[in-house]
Structure formats: C-alpha cells, structure tokens
Amino acid sequence: MSQDHDQTETTQRTLYSDGPMRAAQRTACVVVIHGEGLGRRLDIGGLPVRIGRTPEADLQIAHKSVSRQHCEIRLDGDRYVVRDLGATNPTRLNDARLEHEQALVDGDQITVGESILKFISHDSVEASYHEEIYQLAIHDALTDLCNRRHFCEMAEKEIGRALRHQRPLALCIIDVDLFKPINDRYGHIQGDDVLRGIATIIRAHARSEDVAARIGGEEFALLLPECDLETTRECAERLRLAVANTSFEIAGDQQQITISIGVAVLAPDRESRSALMATADAALYRAKHAGRNRVCTEA
C-alpha cells in the first residue's frame, strides 16, 4: 500500500514539476476519423490553419465534396474557433450547420465534405495514437519509406503545386536488376535485407523535400520537386553508382547489386500522375533493355 502511495506521489511530481513547459508544448490538432484523408493529423499552433481541396491548404482533403478553401481553425485568445470559408457544401460542427464562427471543445466533430475530423484540444494519448496509426498507414513496413498509396497522394499534391507555380517536378522510377536470382539463391528473407539496404541508399540520396517510396516488390520511386531533367539525371546517376559500388553481404557472401532508373519530368503532355509515371516507366524499360545498371531519361 505504502509503496503504491509513494509511486503515485512520484508520478504526480514528475507530471507537474515542469508545468510551464507543458503549457508551452500544448498542441491542439484535428484528425481525420472518417472518409478521404483517414488518419491524417493537422497540428494547430498560433497561426490559423486552412482545410480544403487545394494543395496549398494546411490539410488537403483531395475529394470532390470538399471546396478548395473549406474552413479555417484559429486560436482566439485561449480558445480555438472554426469558421466556414464559403464552402459549397457548408462545414458542419457536431452534425449541425456551422454558424459564422464557433468555439471548439475537445472531441468536437467537424464535417468537411464527406470527411469527418475530430478536434483534440491538447497533446494526449489519443492524439499520439492517431499519429502512430497514420504513420503505419503511410509507410512501407519493410523499408520504412512511403508506401505506394501515400506516394501517389504526395505526387498528386506536388503536381498541383508545380503546375500552379510553374515550377519543375521530376520523377525517378528505380528497379532492382536481376533480383529474382538473388531471391532464388538466398531466399526471400535475405532478399528483404537487400531491399532494406537499397532503401537506405535511396533515402540517403533524397533531399528533405523529396518523396522516396517503395511502390512495388523491388520497385522504388523518388519524386523531386523543383528539379529539372538534367539535375535529376545527375542525381539518379549518383544513386545508381552508390548502389553499384556497395558490397551487399548476403548469407556471408559479398554481392554486387545494381539498379536501373527511368527519369521523367512534368511537361504539358503529361500533367497527370499516371502520365508522369508511365513516362518514367517507359524510360526504365529502355534502361533494362539497354543492359540494366543505367539511367535513361524520357525519350
């Protein structure tokens, strides 16, 4: 009994000893709990945040039921308020139409088009839970790079941004050469280690604004905002060389592994994600047919 009591006292002291700091770290957030964007979280600090379909929104929900600028949440004194931005499909708060501006309380549900967001007023186990679930949902379990679904979402977002600001955007599709013989000889578990090793090299070559993903079994993608064809080709060449110069230890053997890369940039005849990916894929196909271990750019 007395031990339990001591523990309670210690816990309370630990929790409350840095009271002012805890106040400073307090962060409200909204989490998408239903519909498009499921699991995504938007932290709300001192600056207003906007939710909408536009890629410029702080939380983009790319669904036709959502207006480009749908609603805004901001700190007003010591409370958070939500206001509709003239959405075609007006914002709802706890299933009632939002009137002008309304204060939010913990657990409130904000309906934006067909998505429902939950307002969480401060750092909590629940907010961390949503964050963890979201991270699991967007990452590839084997390599910890983005998974294909999240990559496609990010590519759509970056294409929208690049077109709007007339900025370049490039894509590399990367495929491991002759990976089947590695699997056949050493087994899938060792093959998985090789994929993890290649993912580590790709991550090391990506800038913070690039999106690196595993988009298929032994296929990866790297999206490079603000990069033109020549810069991307050079970057892809550095990546190819880095893999080719790495000695992979597989079941005690030292093995050289190579990759082939197809590069494409956004252009007027390919302004959609599928067209951009198809062009990079075609370049990759040429790299494979030209003998592998090489970078080919769009024709």
Ligand X SMILES: Nc1nc2c(ncn2[C@@H]2O[C@H](COP(=O)(O)OP(=O)(O)OP(=O)(O)O)[C@@H](O)[C@H]2O)c(=O)[nH]1
Q: Which residues bind ligand X (CB under 6 A)?
A: 175-180, 183, 188, 191-192, 195, 217-218, 288, 292
| Cβ proximity to ligand X, 167 vs 292, nearer residue | 292
- Cα separation, 169 vs 226, whole angstroms: 5
| Cβ proximity to ligand X, 110 vs 176, nearer residue | 176
Q: Which are the contacts of 175, defined by CB distance < 8 A and separation ≥ 6?
A: 218, 219, 220, 259, 260, 261, 284, 288
* Least CB distance to ligand X at residue 206 (A): 20
What is the Cα gyration radius of the chain? 24
The answer to whether residue 218 is catalytic is yes
* Least CB distance to ligand X at residue 189 (A): 7
* Least CB distance to ligand X at residue 244 (A): 14
| Closest residue by beta carbon to ligand X | 217
Can you list the positions of beta strands (E) in the chain? 28-34, 41-44, 49-52, 59-60, 71-76, 79-84, 92-93, 96-97, 101-103, 109-112, 115-120, 169-176, 211-216, 219-225, 247-250, 253-256, 259-265, 295-297
Which among 72, 153, 158, 218 is annotated as catalytic? 218
- Name which of 270, 285, 54 is nearest 169 in CA terms: 270
* Least CB distance to ligand X at residue 201 (A): 17
| Cβ proximity to ligand X, 59 vs 261, nearer residue | 261
CA 234 and chain centroid, separation: 25
Tally of helices (H runs) and strands (E runs) in the chain: 8, 18
User: 248: which 2 tokens?
Assistant: 């992979």
| Cβ proximity to ligand X, 206 vs 250, nearer residue | 250
* Least CB distance to ligand X at residue 188 (A): 4
| Cβ proximity to ligand X, 170 vs 176, nearer residue | 176
Active site residues: 218
